[in-house]
A and B are shown apart, each in its own frame.
Chain A
Amino acid sequence: MNKVNAIPLLPALAAVVLAGVALSAPFGNTGVDGTLGAGLALLGSVFVALVVAVVLMRPLPRGWFAALVTLAIIAALLTALAAYFLMQMLLLGAMVVTLLALAFVLSGHRRSLS
Chain B
Amino acid sequence: MTARILPAALALITATAAHAQQDSWTAFHGDLASTKFSNAGTITPETVGDLERAWEYHTGDVSDGSADLPQTVWSATPIYANGTLYLGTPFYRIVALDPATGAERWTYDSKSRLEPLTQPALKNRGVAYWQSGQTGICEKRVFLGTMDAELHAVDADTGQRCADFAEGGVLNVNQWNEVNDVFPFSLLQPPLVVGDVLLLGWAGKDWAYAVAPPGNLLALDARTGELLWDTGFIPPEMIPQTGTANIWTAMTADAELGLVYAPVSSPSPNYWGGDRTEPLPLATSVTALDIASGEVVWTFQHVRHDIWDYDTPSAPTLVDITRDGQTIPALVQATKQGFLFVLDRRTGEPLFPIEERPVPESTAEGEVTAPTQPFAMTPAPVGGAMELPEVWPLADIASFGQCSRDREKYLYQGIYTPPSEQGTLMFPGTAGATNWGGVAVDPRSGILYSNASRIVQLIQLIPRAEYDALNPAGGGSEEGYSPQQGSPYGIYLTDWSNWAGIPCWKPPFGTFSAIDLASGELLYEVPFGKAQFHGFYGLSDWGSPTLGGPVVTAGGVVFIGASMDSRVRALDAATGEELWSDLVEAPAVSIPAVFTHEGEDYAVFAVGGNSILKPEVSDQAVAYRLKR
Contact = CB atoms under 8 A, between A and B. Distances in A.
B536 A31 contact: no
A29 B53 CA distance: 15
Nearest to A85: B536
Interface in A76-95: 82, 85-87
A38 interface: yes
A40 B533 CA distance: 13
A86 B585 contact: no
B183 interface: no
Contact of B537 (A29, A30, A36, A86): A86
Interface in A8-60: 29-32, 35-38
Nearest to B618: A29
A38 B583 contact: no
A85 B537 CA distance: 5
Contact of A38 (B533, B535, B566, B585): B535
Nearest to B614: A35
Contact of B583 (A31, A36, A82): A31
Contact of A37 (B534, B565, B584): B534
B211 to A, nearest CB: 42
A36 B534 contact: yes
Looking at B535, B566, B584, B585, which has the most chain A CB atoms within 10 Å of its CB? B535
B15 to A, nearest CB: 39
A31 B535 CA distance: 8
B583 A37 contact: no
A32 B536 CA distance: 8
B490 to A, nearest CB: 32
A73 to B, nearest CB: 22
Nearest to B620: A29
Nearest to B583: A31
Interface string B509-551: 0000000000000000000000001111100000000000000
A91 to B, nearest CB: 12
A32 B67 CA distance: 22
A37 B534 CA distance: 5
Nearest to A35: B535
Interface majority SS (helix, strand, loop, mixed), chain B:
loop
A31 B534 contact: no
B44 to A, nearest CB: 27
Contacts of B565: 31
A66 B391 CA distance: 42
Contacts of A82: 536
A23 to B, nearest CB: 9
Nearest to B616: A34
Given A31-B565, A31-B566, A36 B585 contact: no
A86 B565 CA distance: 11
A43 to B, nearest CB: 13
A38 B566 CA distance: 16
A89 to B, nearest CB: 12
Looking at A30, A35, A38, which has the most chain B CB atoms within 10 Å of its CB? A35
Nearest to A31: B583
Contacts of B584: 29
Contacts of B583: 29-31
Interface string B449-477: 00000000000000000000000000000
Interface residues on A, range: 10 to 19
Contacts of A87: 537
A35 B532 CA distance: 10
Contacts of A31: 565-566, 583
A37 B565 CA distance: 14
Looking at A29, A30, A38, A82, which has the most chain B CB atoms within 10 Å of its CB? A29
A35 to B, nearest CB: 3
A85 B584 CA distance: 18
A86 B583 CA distance: 13
Interface string B578-593: 0000011100000000
Contacts of A36: 534-535
A37 B535 CA distance: 5
Looking at A31, A38, A86, which has the most chain B CB atoms within 10 Å of its CB? A31
Interface in B557-594: 565-566, 583-585
Given A29-B583, A29-B584, A31-B583, A86 B566 contact: no
B535 A29 contact: no
A35 B566 contact: no
A37 B536 contact: yes
A32 B616 CA distance: 10
A32 B537 CA distance: 9
A31 B585 CA distance: 7
B282 to A, nearest CB: 44
Nearest to B539: A85
A105 to B, nearest CB: 31
A29 B584 CA distance: 7
Looking at B534, B536, B537, which has the most chain A CB atoms within 10 Å of its CB? B536
Contacts of A85: 536-537
B108 to A, nearest CB: 28
A29 B534 contact: no
Nearest to B538: A85
A31 B534 CA distance: 11
A29 B585 CA distance: 6
Contacts of A35: 534-535
Contacts of A86: 535-537
B542 to A, nearest CB: 11
Contacts of B585: 29
A45 to B, nearest CB: 15
Contacts of A32: 535
A62 to B, nearest CB: 37
A93 B584 CA distance: 23
Interface of A: 29-32, 35-38, 82, 85-87
The 8 closest A-B pairs by CB, nearest first: A35-B535, A37-B535, A36-B534, A32-B535, A85-B536, A37-B536, A37-B534, A29-B585
Interface of B: 533-537, 565-566, 583-585
Given A82-B536, A87-B537, 16 more contacts: A29-B566, A29-B583, A29-B584, A29-B585, A31-B566, A31-B583, A32-B535, A35-B534, A35-B535, A36-B534, A36-B535, A37-B534, A37-B535, A37-B536, A38-B535, A86-B537
7 contacts: A29-B566, A29-B585, A31-B583, A36-B535, A86-B535, A86-B536, A87-B537
